[in-house]
Amino acid sequence: MAQTIQIGKLAVLLASLDEEEIQLFNKQFKEVRYCTGKAGSMNMQKVISSVETAAKRNGIISEEVYRETHALYHAILEALEGVTRGQIAIGDMMRTVGLKFSVVRGEPYDRKGEGEWIAVAFYGTIGAPVKGLEHETMGLGINHI
Amino acid sequence: MAQTIQIGKLAVLLASLDEEEIQLFNKQFKEVRYCTGKAGSMNMQKVISSVETAAKRNGIISEEVYRETHALYHAILEALEGVTRGQIAIGDMMRTVGLKFSVVRGEPYDRKGEGEWIAVAFYGTIGAPVKGLEHETMGLGINHI
Amino acid sequence: MAQTIQIGKLAVLLASLDEEEIQLFNKQFKEVRYCTGKAGSMNMQKVISSVETAAKRNGIISEEVYRETHALYHAILEALEGVTRGQIAIGDMMRTVGLKFSVVRGEPYDRKGEGEWIAVAFYGTIGAPVKGLEHETMGLGINHI
Amino acid sequence: MAQTIQIGKLAVLLASLDEEEIQLFNKQFKEVRYCTGKAGSMNMQKVISSVETAAKRNGIISEEVYRETHALYHAILEALEGVTRGQIAIGDMMRTVGLKFSVVRGEPYDRKGEGEWIAVAFYGTIGAPVKGLEHETMGLGINHI
Amino acid sequence: MAQTIQIGKLAVLLASLDEEEIQLFNKQFKEVRYCTGKAGSMNMQKVISSVETAAKRNGIISEEVYRETHALYHAILEALEGVTRGQIAIGDMMRTVGLKFSVVRGEPYDRKGEGEWIAVAFYGTIGAPVKGLEHETMGLGINHI
Amino acid sequence: MAQTIQIGKLAVLLASLDEEEIQLFNKQFKEVRYCTGKAGSMNMQKVISSVETAAKRNGIISEEVYRETHALYHAILEALEGVTRGQIAIGDMMRTVGLKFSVVRGEPYDRKGEGEWIAVAFYGTIGAPVKGLEHETMGLGINHI
């Protein structure tokens, strides 16, 4: 792979590993900015805005530049394609999610001019709105920013 | 999570970590059957059949029971939704993939009667059919088997 | 066809024929378990939960095993792809449905080990939320259970 | 239902019943024009053109008016949504179909001015390109013509 | 192009040009019936019903014939595919639209028997529900009527 | 609208107007870089690569920076959603396109930091692979670059 820093893999690890396991990869996180958070809901809007709010509060993207919100939004949607597998909908399809998410920003490429990219990952459960009737789900979205 | 064994997370780790990193999670793989493989192609058919062939050759699913092929096929398709994010197509949309995949089979739930489930994960790159013009991609599919 | 019992065809007949017509096919229903019901709504959640509730109340699937709910849920979604043809949405797209549905469970294959499968069919109307501004619609989903 | 003639239901019966069973519904076919045919392929183009060719050869639609081809084409695509459930693709997704199809043209509504409509139905199997590794599938599309 | 009157292009111009610019194309609008309107919302239902209401109030389609509502509805949905690019959803995906729309009805073809067709176009902005965090969007749908 | 320069509208005009009509809007093209081209095919790959090749040959994007190819690629795909309305496929669905396309690059926003964005528009016909059996189609995609 032509990538020096795998922001996607880092986002996936942040979303799916527990605290202790993440420590094992500590070195790899030195060259990126990132944040994590949780979103449990039947409401897709809430899931999307949880990620956007976390990314802005933690200074991963600038609140005042549409360009960055646009880049993040499409990365979120692409990650949600993996989570929902077919239709970006949860409550409307009578299912609910309990997700941990991560946002990672960095320069994955050595090539001059490639600049910064952003990765969004989700990991958690999706299923019926009944405790325990659920299975794992995951999604990753990547965009230039 | 009501799951004792996170077959999805294990599939994700198998697909995205390198040999050395996977060793760190060795204990967690004791209670599942799994295999891994690679698929690099502009042809979606080849990606799907690489996973099916690997799963059958390694005895993860039975070659002679349609039921198991059916369960695996839908897990593959769901994982490809995450990889392709919108349309399960690669060459037709002028993009190519270089993927590592994993298939994990086990009993994720304690509850009596839940039986075996299967997880398929992909991790790698997707991009233009030109070396280096690509970014990371990931997908996870889960099904009862 | 390698199938001895066409659970899909039986589901389609149950959903689309009237009482009298169904009698003509009585013999074919001896080897399956099934139930039928109605769902008229602009709310996709209600359509999905009508089918799930009917299947559980009539003992077609077990309420306590996620595995069976999972199998049924995906069969319902696949049937709804046929009903909605493009986007699994009704009210959000300003349309409403008046559907009869059926759930059929049986062993369609002679082959040893194929076990039980489930079929869900819908038949009825889809259209504008104005009486009469509607046309027929149908969908069928099949899954191993 | 405000429909006098259920062209969709008739199309479904023509596609899914065998010769003998169809006789039971003979009376209902008096007021419509229809044809049936078969299409077995991994190639979606061939499935679509089999239906178009049959409809034209049997005089169900006019070969020389684009309007009628357009109406039929969209009815076919909608029926294929039910058959493929998610992505209108077969060979690219490593699956094959063995389908019987029907095209029914008639005046379903009493209301003055509603004119003619067309229904396309498919019924058969979809599955792996291996004999017997397949399950039933069905689709229905309706359009004004 | 075999079309004498490009109803699609006319719809696009009506939706995207300002009053003054439209004057430049005045001659081309002589042979069609059309209307325009605005729809700003996070609610897809409202966008769809704004177009339907405008088309009925301005006599572009007949309120009493389902056939015409059906033709218009599918033209609207196709135009919304262009606006939403992937999932026909706005509020659920935490985005909002500010659109100008147009409906054009006419006879685009010289060929005898092709009759009337309808075009629906949208042009405006789509983006976050925050003033200014948005970019342009456009969609065109065409159907026989 | 908070945009000073409507790159999307300019792309739409370039794709849909004839030479003479475009002259009427000449002033508006002063602050953007753009190119146009044609793509007629049943092959989606060819359509995508026609646009990419034109954009690179005309210096609208840099051939050596993946970041720019990535931005353009997603703008093309979004525009193709409008052209294909449901499934980004042409030949596989037995239809062909005859399109004029445009790529416009500029700074649509006054706000500091928004930088450059890219718009891709298609206008032309889509239909059966028979001369004349076709209707108009259009698509617009926008991305930050």
Please indicate whether, in this complex, the C-beta atoms of C133 and E69 are within 8 angstroms of each other: yes
Of C45, C73, C88, which is closest to A87 when you measure between CB atoms?
Answer: C88
Does residue F3 have a pLDDT over 90?
Answer: no
Instruction: Provide the shortest C-alpha distance from residue C39 to chain E (in Å).
Output: 21
Distance CA F145, CA F140 (A): 16
Instruction: Please give the average per-residue pLDDT across A34-55, as a whole number.
Output: 97
Residues of chain E found within 8 Å of residue C95, distances taken between Cβ atoms? 73
Task: State percent of chain D over pLDDT 70.
Answer: 99
pLDDT at D1 over 90: no
Residue D117 to residue C65: CA distance in whole angstroms: 45
Interface probe for D, chosen from F44, F93, F126 (most Cβ of D below 10 Å), is: F93
On the question of pLDDT at F37 being above 60, the answer is yes
Placement of tokens 């049924």 in the chain: C72
Q: Tokens for B142? A: 């889960």
Residue percentage of chain F with pLDDT more than 70: 99
Which residues lie below 8 Å from residue C30, measured CB to CB, with a gap of 6+? Answer: none
Is D86 in Cβ contact with C7 (below 8 Å)? no
Using DSSP's 3-state secondary structure scheme, residue B59 falls into coil
Give the nearest partner residue to C115 out of B67, B111, B114, using CB atoms. Answer: B67
CATH architecture of A7-16+34-144: 3-Layer(aba) Sandwich (3.40)
- pLDDT computed for residue E68 by the predictor: 97
Rounded mean pLDDT, A10-39: 96
Tell me what percent of the residues of chain A surpass a pLDDT of 90: 92
Q: Under the phi-then-psi rule, with left for phi > 0, alpha for psi from -120 to 50, and beta for the rest, what region is E86?
A: left
* Nearest residue in F to A117, CA atom: F67
Determine, for residues F73 and B134 on separate chains, whether the beta-carbon distance falls below 8 Å.
no
- Residue F144 CA: distances (Å) to CA of D36, E108, E122, F119: 51, 37, 22, 9
Q: What is the mean pLDDT of residues E98-112?
A: 95
Mean pLDDT of the F113-140 span? 96
Set of chain B residues whose Cβ sits within 8 Å of the Cβ of F89? 87, 89, 92
Handedness of CA B21, B22, B25, B27 (dihedral sign): negative
Q: What is the pLDDT of residues E16-70, one digit of tens each?
A: 999 999 999 999 999 999 999 999 999 999 999 999 999 999 999 999 899 999 9
Which residue among D70, D111, D114 sits closest to E144, beta carbon to beta carbon? D70
pLDDT at C3 over 50: yes
pLDDT at B1: 47
φ and ψ at residue A12, rounded to 5 degrees: -60, -45
- Rounded to the nearest angstrom, the minimum Cα separation between F62 and chain E is 23
Let me know: does A97 contact A137? Beta carbons within 8 Å. Answer: yes
pLDDT number for residue E88: 93
C-beta of residue A8 within 8 angstroms of C-beta of residue A142? yes
Domain ranges (residues) in chain C:
7-16+34-144
CA distances from E59 to C35, C106, D61, E13, E68 (A): 46, 54, 30, 20, 11
> Do the Cβ atoms of B113 and C62 come within 8 Å?
yes
Residue A73, min C-alpha distance to chain E (Å)? 9
Query: Are F109 and F3 within 8 A, CB to CB?
Result: yes
Q: What does pLDDT average to over chain A? A: 95
Residue E1 has pLDDT above 60, yes or no: no
Which string of DSSP letters, residue by residue, matches A55-124?
HHHTTSS-TT-HHHHHHHHHHHHHHHHHHHTTSS-SGGGT-EEEEEEEEEEE--B-STT---EEEEEEEE
Tell me the per-residue pLDDT of F47-104, one tens digit each, with 9 for 90 and over: 999 999 999 999 999 998 999 999 999 999 999 999 999 999 999 999 999 999 999 9
Q: Are the beta carbons of D44 and F92 separated by less than 8 Å?
A: yes
Calpha distance C34→B3 (Å, rounded): 31
Please report how many Cα atoms fall inside a 13 Å half-sphere around the Cα of residue C3, on the Cβ side: 23
Question: F120 to chain B: which residues are within 8 Å by CB?
Answer: none
Q: Residue E94: which of A45, A66, A70 has the nearest Cβ? A: A45
Confidence grade of residue A78 (pLDDT, cut at 50, 70, 90): very high
Question: According to DSSP H, which parts of F42-102 are helical?
Answer: 44-57, 66-84
Most F CBs within 10 A among B43, B44, B84, B87, hence the mutation to make, goes to: B87
D68 → chain F, closest CA residue: F133
pLDDT at F62: 95
Q: Which residue of A has its CA nearest to F67?
A: A114
Q: What is the DSSP string of C90-134?
A: SGGGT-EEEEEEEEEEE--B-STT---EEEEEEEEEEE-SSTT-E
User: Do B14 and B102 meet the contact criterion of CB atoms below 8 Å apart?
Assistant: yes
- For helices C7-16 and D7-16, the axis angle rounded to 10 degrees is 160
Residues in chain E, overall count: 145
% pLDDT > 90, chain E? 92
Provide the mean pLDDT of chain C.
95
Helices within B66-144 (DSSP H only):
66-84
- Chain A neighbours (≥3 Cβ pairs under 8 A) are B, C, E, F
Confidence of residue A4 (pLDDT cuts 50, 70, 90): confident
Closest in A67, A70, A144 to F67, CB measured: A144
Give the residue on A whose Cα is nearest the Cα of E42: A45
Q: Rounded to the nearest 5 degrees, what angle is found at the Cα of C31, between the Cα atoms of C30 and C37? A: 70
Q: Using DSSP, how many helices (H) and how many strands (E) does chain E show?
A: 4, 4
DSSP type of residue D3: B
Q: Taking CA atoms, what residue in F is nearest to A2?
A: F66
| C-alpha distances in Å from residue D89, one per residue of D82, D83, F16, F122 | 12, 10, 31, 24
SS3 A54: helix
pTM: 0.97
| Among chain F residues, CA nearest to A107 | F67
Residues of F within 8 A of B92 (CB-CB) are 44-45, 88-89, 92
For range C26-52, the mean pLDDT: 96
Q: Which residues of A touch C (CB under 8 A)?
A: 86-87, 89, 91-95, 127-128, 132-135
| Neighbour subunits, B (≥3 Cβ pairs < 8 A) | A, C, D, F
Chain A interface with F: residues with Cβ < 8 Å: 62, 64-67, 70-71, 74, 109, 111, 113-115, 117, 144
Size of interface A-B (CB pairs under 8 A): 104
Helix (H, G, I), strand (E, B) or coil at E70: helix
pLDDT band of residue B27 (cuts 50, 70, 90) is very high
Q: What is the mean pLDDT of chain D?
A: 95
Determine the pLDDT at residue B3.
76
Q: What is the distance in angstroms between the Cα of B1 and the nearest Cα belonging to chain C?
A: 14
pLDDT band per the 50, 70, 90 thresholds, residue A112 = confident
Q: What letter would DSSP give residue E89?
A: -
- Judging contacts by C-beta atoms under 8 Å, the chain D residues touching residue F128 are 66, 69, 73
Count CA atoms within 13 Å of residue C51 on its CB side: 34
Mean pLDDT of the region B96-121: 96
pLDDT band at residue C124 under the 50/70/90 scheme: very high
For residue C64, the chain A residues in CB contact (below 8 A) are: none
What pLDDT, on a 0 to 100 scale, did the predictor assign at position A2? 61
**F114 contact residues in A (CB cutoff 8 A):** 65-67
Nearest to A81 among B3, B7, B86 (CB): B86
CA nearest to D112 within chain E: E65
Q: What integer pLDDT is reported at residue F67 of this predicted model? A: 96
Which candidate from D66, D109, D115 shows the least CB-CB separation from E109? D66
- Answer yes or no: do C137 and D8 touch at CB < 8 A: yes
Task: Give the separation between CA A117 and CA F110, rounded to whole angstroms.
Answer: 24
CB–CB of F74 and A74 under 8 A? yes
Chains meeting C at 3+ CB pairs closer than 8 A?
A: A, B, D, E
The pLDDT tens digits for D58-110 are 999 999 899 999 999 999 999 999 999 999 999 999 999 999 999 999 999 99
Asked if D82's CB is within 8 angstroms of C81's CB, the reply is yes
The predicted structure's pLDDT at residue F112: 82
Nearest Cα neighbor of C87 from D3, E107, E118, E87 is E87
Residue A33 pLDDT > 80, yes or no? yes
Give residue D2's pLDDT band: very low, low, confident or very high (50, 70, 90): low
What is the C-alpha separation between A144 and A8, in angstroms, rounded? 12
Residues B55-69: tens digit of each pLDDT: 999 999 999 899 999
On chain E, the residues whose CB falls within 8 A of the CB of F38 are none
CA nearest neighbour of E11 among E63, E90, E75, E69: E75
Question: How sure is the predictor about C2, in pLDDT bands with cuts at 50, 70 and 90?
Answer: low
